[in-house]
Chains A and B, each alone.
Chain A
Amino acid sequence: MPALVNGVVLRLTFRATIGRRRALLFALPAVIMIALSAVLTATAHSPVWRAEFLGDFGFSVVLPLTSLIIGVSVLGAEIDDSSILHLLATPVSRVSVVLSKYLVAVGLTFVFAAIPEYLAASIASGFSSKLAYGLLAGAAVGCVTYNAFFVMLSIVTRRAVPVGLLYLLVWEGLLANLVPGVRFLSAGQYSVGVANSIIHNSALNAHLTLGTALGLAIVATVGLLLVSSWRLSAFSIKGDLA
C-alpha cells in the first residue's frame, strides 16, 4: 500500500509556501489580535470582552482568514505557477499529494492562528486558564476543517481566494448565524462548539455540542479530502486550442 504522506512533498510544500511573498500575510491577523488583546487587557475595566473579542475576532476573522491564505497557497499557488507538474509527473498517488499538502497547511495555520489565539487568551486571563485552553482546542479543530475546505477549493477553482472570502462572509458569517440547519455545515461552528465545551461561555454563541461538533468536523474533513484527491487525480492542463 502506498504511503499516505510523502516526505518530499511535505518538504517542498513547506519551503514553497513559506518562501512566497504571500507568507508575510500569515502572521498579520495574529499580530493584530495579540496586540489588541494586550491593549484591552491593560485598559478594560471588566473581563466580559475576553470571550466576546477572542471568540468573535479570533474565530470569525483570524482563524478563517489565516486558513484561507495558507490553505489556498499550499496547492493552488503551485497550480497557478505550474510547479505542481513536478509532483504530478511522478507515480506518487494523488491522495498522498493532497494529504501531504493538507498537513503542511494545518501545521502552518496552527502556528499562525491557533497558537496566537492561545497567546492572546493567555495575555487576557493567564496561561493555564480555561479560556486559553478552550480557544486553543477550538482553533485546532478550525485549522483541520477550514484547511480541508480551502485545499479542496484551490483544486476546483482558479479563483479560490475570492470564492473563499465569499464563503466566509456569506456562509460562515451570515447563514451559519441565521439559518439553524447551516450550523451543522459550518467549520466556524465546529470550532466554537469545541471551545465552548471547555470554556462554557454564552458570549461564544455556540450552537453545537462537543460530540456533534467533533463528529461533524471529522466527517466534513474526511469528505473534503476525498473530494480533493478525486479532483486532483483528474487534474487537467488546458492545452492550446486549434
Chain B
Amino acid sequence: MTSIELASVSRWYGNVVAVNDITMSIGPGVTGLLGPNGAGKTTLLHMMAGFLEPSRGELTVAGQVAWRNPGIFRKVGLVPERDSVYAFLTGTDFVTSSAKLHGLADPKAAAQRAIGIVEMADAQDRRIATYSKGMRQRIKVAAALVHDPEVLLLDEPFSGMDPRQRLHMMDLLHAEGQQGRVILFSSHILEEVERLSGTIQVIVGGRLAASGDFRAIRRLMTSRPHVFVIRSSDDRALGSALIGRPAVSGVELTGSGLQVRASDYGTFTREIAALTRDHGIRLKELLPEDESLESVFSYLLAS
C-alpha cells in the first residue's frame, strides 16, 4: 500500500524551527494538512516532494527517500502554491509538456485525459496567461495528474478560487482519493478541510497538534469555552442573568461591556436572544472573541 511516512522529521533554518519532530503516516484517500499561516505546512510538503532536506529524521514517499531523488516523481504529482507555469504556453501545451517530461508513451492522449479530469477542455487552447487563478490551479492539477501518480501533493489548492471552483476542485480531489491515491493537501481554512477530508493532520508552530479523524478533533475543538464580548442596554443585569445559565461558565464586567465564557457554544447562542428579551434588555453587540483559527489551533496544542 502506498503511503507517506515521516519519522521524527524536523527542519530548521538557522535558529528558527519550521518543523519540529513530526511523526506521521499518510495512506490512501484524502488527507488535509491543516494549520494557520506559517505553521510549517508548506515546509512539510516541500520535504515530501524532495525540495527540502529534512534537518533530522526520515521521510519516505511511496517507499523512497524524497531528497535528491527526482525518480520519486514517477509516483508523485506536485501542485505547488506558487504559480509554477509557463504563461506563454496553452493549457494543452503545458500539460503535454509535462507528459513528455515524464516520458509517457502517448503524451497527447495522456494530456487530453488529464485535461478532461479537471474539466478544462473548453479553455485548453488558450494561453495560460489569459487564465483566471482558479483555471491556473486546475491546469496545474492536470499537469500533476498526467502520469497517473500514486501520490498527489497539493499546497493550498483552493487559494484564489471562487466558491464554484472550490466545489469543483473538492469533488475532483475526492474522486481521485476514492480511486486509492494518496492525496495530501494543505489548507489554513477549517471549512475546506471539513468538507473534503475525513482524516486531518493539524500542524501548529511546526508541531503535530492533532492527527486522525476530523470529527473527533472537531469535538475536541467545540468542547473548549468560547469567549464572547457583549454590549447591551444593561450589562450588569444581563451579567447576573447569564451567570445562572448552565451554558455559561464565567462572566466578567469590563469597561466596554461583558466578557462571557460559554462552555456550550450551541446552547449559549440559541439562548442569548430569548434571555435578553425575557429580561427586557436590548442587545447592542455580540462578538465572538476567539474564533480565529489560530485560537482554535492554540487550544488544540494546549489540550
Contacts and interface: CB of A to CB of B under 8 A. Distances in A.
Interface string B201-235: 00001100000000000000000000000000000
Most buried by A among B13, B53, B84, B206: B84
A153 B53 CA distance: 21
B78 interface: yes
A237 B51 contact: yes
B73 A241 contact: no
A236 B80 CA distance: 13
Interface stretch (A87-95, A144-152, A154-162, A190-198): A87-95
A16 B129 CA distance: 13
Most buried by A among B52, B86, B97, B205: B86
Interface string A16-52: 1001000000000000000000000000000000000
Contacts of B103: 91
Nearest to A81: B83
A82 interface: yes
Contacts of B84: 82-86, 89
Most buried by A among B70, B83, B86, B100: B70
Contact of B20 (A19, A81, A93, A242): A242
B-side interface mostly: mixed
Nearest to A13: B86
Interface string B93-127: 01001101111000000000000000000000000
B73 A242 contact: no
Interface in A60-100: 81-94
Interface size class of A (residues with CB under 8 A): 20 to 34
Interface stretch (B33-41, B243-251, B262-270): B33-41
Contact of A241 (B16, B74, B102): B16
Nearest to B40: A242
A144 to B, nearest CB: 26
B98 A90 contact: yes
Interface string B29-57: 00000000111111111100101110000
A8 B95 CA distance: 12
Contacts of B242: none
B266 to A, nearest CB: 33
B176 to A, nearest CB: 17
B102 A90 contact: yes
Given A89-B49, A242-B40, A242-B205, A234 B68 contact: yes
Nearest to A6: B101
B285 to A, nearest CB: 35
Nearest to A2: B103
Interface of A: 6-9, 12, 15-16, 19, 81-94, 233-242
Instruction: Pick the 10 closest A-B CB pairs, nearest first.
Output: A239-B43, A242-B206, A85-B84, A82-B82, A90-B101, A239-B42, A89-B78, A237-B51, A82-B84, A240-B42
Interface of B: 11, 13, 16-20, 37-46, 49, 51-53, 68, 70-71, 73-74, 76-78, 80, 82-86, 88-89, 94, 97-98, 100-103, 143-144, 205-206
